Structure 1
Amino acid sequence: MATSKKYDVVVFGASGFTGQFVVEELGRVTSEEERGLIWAVAGRNQDKLNQVLEKASSTIGVDLKDAVDVLLADIENEESLNDMAAQAQVVLNCVGPYRFFGEPVVKACLKNKAHHIDISGEPQFLETMQFKYDEEAKKKGVYIVQSCGFDSVPADLGVLYTVKNFPGRINTIESYLTLNAGPEGAVGHYATWQSAIHGLANAEELRNLRKEMGTKKPLPKSGPKLENRGPAHWSEMLQKWCVPFPGADASVVRRTQRFLYNNGENCPVQYAAFASIPDRIDLFKWQAASKVVTSLADTEFGLGLLEEYPRLFSLGYFSHEGPTQKQIEGASFNMQFIGTGYSNTVLEDGDYDGPPNMTIATQVEGPEAGYVTTPIVMVQAAITLLKEMKKFPAKGGVMTPGTAYKDTSLVERLSDRGVIFSITAPAASN
């Protein structure tokens, strides 16, 4: 990788809703332990970028205006994207939805040999980029590392953390996400909602892509098939109703498991992701809203309604304005992992085709998911890439977090910043 780049990191989309929080987090980190890191912000409006730096300076108590350069780059101006990428070792791409705006940035990074980190939770974009650009990235020694935010580092690295701490061979892992709202409630920004509904609208395209990539073929199993828990089930552990988590976690984890298996590094883990629902009434609301949203997303008119009225159709969970600062400060998340498998004692006796005989429980917990945890993860992902590139597999490629960071210190770095990985119940016989 060229060492003549002017900036270690460039935050593209710094004036967007999520981008402004990434700027604040990067400002904190570079005013503390990473003072030698040289970085810039980029976007299409210089006044807005200057305002973001002013606000971040006020928030973190450090003047960023003289220390951080401002670059002009527009998603619709290829030359400006090339100029930005040519100056950066790592581009933090905060401009979404990525299905609309992501590919030109990836192409600019590849052309100019800049590493690219995104926070996309859109499986179609993620898998399309792997299909189209993985070989080129490998040839050019460029890392395109995807989903480096709340989507989907807690899930992907949480699975690897659980496997690492299991004294044997894990067969299945189920994760259970609880999003905790503070007294002011919780709400997500419109861009996340837009990504989700367009994912529903184009689900058939994703299925066809997976057929073309050959990734629909199931991976081999090391034990009984993971239980199908249906559209909702009661969790004794959480004492709550749970539904399949609609985000990218399952897709990202499966891609990591496929990579590890193809490289002879593990026996694939079967994985399912769930989210908890506070009570039966909320479960009913969730199921009714899901049916309405899925139905509307099938038509152009319905999709327009979903885009215009996110608060209505999401039952208040998403809005054009996004959360207030008080809502962000009061929120947190907890993701529990339950892994089952076979102890080393059983495996030493030869092939064993009985039920798993050992269980482990781990967790990842942290502050508000979208605008506190995501910036923490994205910034630490960039720093880890810069400092520990030799620990990455191969010499480049389009990668999931688990693929890229499996041998690095990212888990420890995140725990130091408040996104904490831990064992809640050590592996024990069933």
Structure 2
Amino acid sequence: MASVTSSRPFHLIIFGASGFTGQFVVQEVARCAAESPGGSPLKWAVAGRSRQRLEEVLKQAAERLSMPELTTDIDIIVADVSIEESLSIMCQQGLVILNCVGPYRFYGEPVVKACVENGAHYIDICGEPQFLERMQLEYHTKALDRGVYVIGSCGFDSIPADLGILYTNRQFRGTLTAVESFLNISSGPKGASGHDATWQSAVYGFADSRSLRQLRKKFGHKPLPVVGAKVHKRGFVFFSKEIEQYVIPFMGSDPSVVKRTQRFLYEEEHHSPVQYSAYVGVGGIFSLVKLFCGGLLFWFMVKFSLGRRLLTTFPSFFSFGMFTKAGPSMKQIEDTCFSLTFFGEGYSEGTDPAQGRPNAKICTQVIGGEPGYVATVSAMVQAAVTLLNELHSLPRRGGVYTPGAAFYKTTLIDRLHNHGIKFSVRTFQ
């Protein structure tokens, strides 16, 4: 474990620890700290606006994990995104800040800014491309100058996809040129649901999609070269033989994050870029019709401020119960899991990609527990632990990165595999 200097008493600080996701992060960090070797314990603290709520979260974690020491041994830091000084004081005390306060488009930048200015590394679980890409545009050079790493999307969006592509590429014998991924979420009889904060991120993200296009123009990127045959995108809705259900394009941040990683690997490591398309299963024809009707209503309502207000005020009604202000029950979380299957193609060793069609295929899979509060939490905490232990393996000496770019030369995939997010090669069907 990285040493803690006298001016930095904590390895990790969980900001937003009393939020719905934050409370699960607290429990996961507590478990990891208990696993730490006796000679170099993981020192951590919780932070947020309300000391009382943070005390309640520690008490709840102590009871659930049978660790009574959490209520006495873990420090509490009061910090608020609207009070710059409080964020500075928090960031001066930790090596890595785990930011669980969303939607990030509203509350994320002050934390990034405080981390960069006060020399603390930053990790979040954001699935909002506008925020992630804007932070790269505005803070990469500043973070690089300060020797600070800012690594976004270290949750279900988008570690399974981003590192899944890296894993697939490493397992492929030859030149991997294109990958399609298919997400399938399985749940118990009560179904899966998400928390209101995730729903809000989706509402405001779709409403502001035009600004994302304008933001991307500011980077001035040239298109990534297409190696081998160009992949033709599939239709918006189709029946997938791969997962035997109807699928639609995945609307989260995975395609954005993967493309940023592929650009980094092409420009910095001179790797051949991989074309990527992401899809998610929606079930049978009845589920498809329900999704189509709900999607049309959602698409119409996000265009107007009144519509957005209604969507965010009544998330359960407008999402058909998929998102609620209370979030999923523990039973729903325990009964839910995901599988992300990758179908890749390319050219075998010794074959020139400029000649003919791809002649080799591969199928890999990433599987894990419930995406939002099990897989996300495990991914975030293992990313933070990797950052602490393998700082020398990260690119340059700081900057704003995707998980794939930041952790490309680390053991994060192995760490994830040992903490419930399994990577494997499958028989191609």
TM-score by length of 1: 0.96
2:319 is equivalent to residue 314 of structure 1:
yes
Q: Trace 1:236-255 onto structure 2 (pairs within 5 A).
A: 236-255=241-260
Give the Cα–Cα distance (whole angstroms) in 2 for the partners of residues 112 and 47 of structure 1. Answer: 27
| Residue-by-residue CA offset, 1:185-215 (whole Å, 9 max, x unaligned) | 2110000000011000000111000011124
Tell me which amino acid in the other structure corresponds to 1:277. Answer: V
Kindly state the Cα deviation for residue 352 of structure 1 after the two structures are TM-superposed: 3.2
Helix, strand or coil for the counterpart of 1:174? strand
Q: 1:59 to 1:258 in 2, by over 3 A?
A: same
Aligned to 1:202: 208
Helix, strand or coil for the counterpart of 1:370? helix
Q: 1:278 aligns with which of 272, 275, 283?
A: 283
2:408 is equivalent to residue 406 of structure 1:
yes
Q: 1:259 aligns with which of 258, 264, 273?
A: 264
Tell me which amino acid in the other structure corresponds to 2:87. Answer: L
Helix, strand or coil for the counterpart of 1:179? strand
Q: 2:91 aligns with which of 75, 81, 85?
A: 85
- Asked whether the 8 Å contact 1:90–1:115 carries over to 2, the reply is yes
Helix, strand or coil for the counterpart of 2:246? strand
Tell me which amino acid in the other structure corresponds to 2:268. Answer: N
- Asked whether the 8 Å contact 2:36–2:42 carries over to 1, the reply is no
Kindly state the Cα deviation for residue 2 of structure 1 after the two structures are TM-superposed: 8.4
2:17 is equivalent to residue 14 of structure 1:
yes
Give the Cα–Cα distance (whole angstroms) in 1 for the partners of residues 314 and 136 of structure 2. Answer: 33
Give the Cα–Cα distance (whole angstroms) in 1 for the partners of residues 249 and 111 of structure 2. Answer: 32
Tell me which amino acid in the other structure corresponds to 2:372. Answer: G
2:8 is equivalent to residue 5 of structure 1:
yes
Aligned to 1:292: 297
- Asked whether the 8 Å contact 2:162–2:403 carries over to 1, the reply is yes
Kindly state the Cα deviation for residue 34 of structure 1 after the two structures are TM-superposed: 5.4
Kindly state the Cα deviation for residue 265 of structure 1 after the two structures are TM-superposed: 2.9
Give the Cα–Cα distance (whole angstroms) in 2 for the partners of residues 44 and 33 of structure 1. Answer: 29
Helix, strand or coil for the counterpart of 1:263? helix
Helix, strand or coil for the counterpart of 1:66? helix
Give the Cα–Cα distance (whole angstroms) in 2 for the partners of residues 252 and 357 of structure 1. Answer: 27
Give the Cα–Cα distance (whole angstroms) in 2 for the partners of residues 285 and 111 of structure 1. Answer: 47
Q: 1:27 aligns with which of 22, 25, 30?
A: 30
Give the Cα–Cα distance (whole angstroms) in 2 for the partners of residues 67 and 226 of structure 1. Answer: 55
Tell me which amino acid in the other structure corresponds to 1:306. Answer: L
Alignment size in residue pairs: 423
Percent identical pairs in the alignment equals 48
Give the Cα–Cα distance (whole angstroms) in 2 for the partners of residues 304 and 159 of structure 1. Answer: 37
Give the Cα–Cα distance (whole angstroms) in 2 for the partners of residues 381 and 213 of structure 1. Answer: 27
Give the Cα–Cα distance (whole angstroms) in 1 for the partners of residues 254 and 147 of structure 2. Answer: 26
Kindly state the Cα deviation for residue 242 of structure 1 after the two structures are TM-superposed: 0.8
2:219 is equivalent to residue 213 of structure 1:
yes
Q: 2:396 aligns with which of 379, 394, 400?
A: 394
Give the Cα–Cα distance (whole angstroms) in 2 for the partners of residues 67 and 374 of structure 1. Answer: 26
Tell me which amino acid in the other structure corresponds to 1:236. Answer: K
Deviation larger for 288-297 or 398-407: 288-297
Aligned to 1:358: 360
- Asked whether the 8 Å contact 1:31–1:62 carries over to 2, the reply is no
Helix, strand or coil for the counterpart of 1:345? coil
2:290 is equivalent to residue 302 of structure 1:
no
Unaligned segments of structure 2, at least 5 residues: none
Kindly state the Cα deviation for residue 67 of structure 1 after the two structures are TM-superposed: 2.1
Output the aligned Cα RMSD. Answer: 1.4
Kindly state the Cα deviation for residue 227 of structure 1 after the two structures are TM-superposed: 2.0
TM-score by length of 2: 0.96
Give the Cα–Cα distance (whole angstroms) in 2 for the partners of residues 212 and 288 of structure 1. Answer: 35
Kindly state the Cα deviation for residue 184 of structure 1 after the two structures are TM-superposed: 2.5
Aligned to 1:415: 417
Unaligned segments of structure 1, at least 5 residues: none
Aligned to 1:224: 229
Aligned to 2:168: 162
Aligned to 2:184: 178
Q: 2:156 aligns with which of 140, 150, 154?
A: 150
